[in-house]
Amino acid sequence: MYSINRESNFLIDYRPNSIYHIHTHRRNTVKESGGNLDGVAQSTLREISRITQAVWLLATSADLEYPGTVGGTIGNGTLERFGRWYISEMLEAMAFDKEVRLQFLAVNQLVKPGTALFAPGIFLRVMKQFILKKFRSDKSS
């Protein structure tokens, strides 16, 4: 699935939903069409948008927490509040749990989809760190 490119030392993701896969597929399509570029840019951008949508939402939603951010509004529904709480707890859990940290980095680098942050194993690790944090704060009080 993954390989190190010897020329650039970059980790290459060969999965069907990866940016590298899209690039390779589009390059082959253009070669097969004799260099015809009609529609290639639009379909490529549509595919990239689909792959990066969850991570883009995560990044831009975090921006809304800062005063003075222009555009968008912070939703106050149950799902939005839970999402902000979970991401905050996950960021704290990264300091204590290597698996949570590695999963976040994989999503951040577009190696895994944004939904990987909510995988059951990661979710349980975040909850464990939340409980341990509560236990530590209760113990010190």
User: pLDDT value at position 7?
Assistant: 53
Whether residues 2 and 69 fall in one domain:
yes
Report the alpha-carbon distance of residue 96 to residue 30 in Å, rounded.
47
Look up residue 7 and give its DSSP letter: T
Whether residues 51 and 79 fall in one domain:
no
Give the chain's mean pLDDT: 79
- Show Cβ contacts of residue 98 under 8 Å, excluding neighbours closer than 6 positions: none
> In percent, how much of the chain has pLDDT > 90?
24
Whether residues 67 and 118 fall in one domain:
no
- Show Cβ contacts of residue 15 under 8 Å, excluding neighbours closer than 6 positions: 1, 21
User: pLDDT value at position 119?
Assistant: 94
User: pLDDT value at position 9?
Assistant: 47
- Show Cβ contacts of residue 104 under 8 Å, excluding neighbours closer than 6 positions: 90, 91, 94, 117
> pLDDT by residue (tens digit) across 5-63?
455 445 455 555 566 667 676 777 777 778 777 877 787 788 778 777 777 777 777 77
**More confident position, 102 or 54:** 102
Report the alpha-carbon distance of residue 93 to residue 85 in Å, rounded.
12
**Where is the domain boundary, 45, 73, 101?**
73
Whether residues 65 and 120 fall in one domain:
no
Report the alpha-carbon distance of residue 128 to residue 135 in Å, rounded.
10
> 137 near 109, Cβ under 8 Å?
no
pTM of the model: 0.65
**Where is the domain boundary, 43, 73, 103?**
73
Answer whether residue 2 shows pLDDT above 80: no
Domain region containing 15: 1-73
Number of domains in the chain: 2
Answer whether residue 132 shows pLDDT above 60: yes
Whether residues 55 and 68 fall in one domain:
yes
User: pLDDT value at position 128?
Assistant: 96
**Where is the domain boundary, 23, 44, 73?**
73
> pLDDT by residue (tens digit) across 108-117?
887 788 888 9
Whether residues 50 and 11 fall in one domain:
yes
Whether residues 116 and 141 fall in one domain:
yes
**More confident position, 90 or 37:** 90
Whether residues 44 and 96 fall in one domain:
no
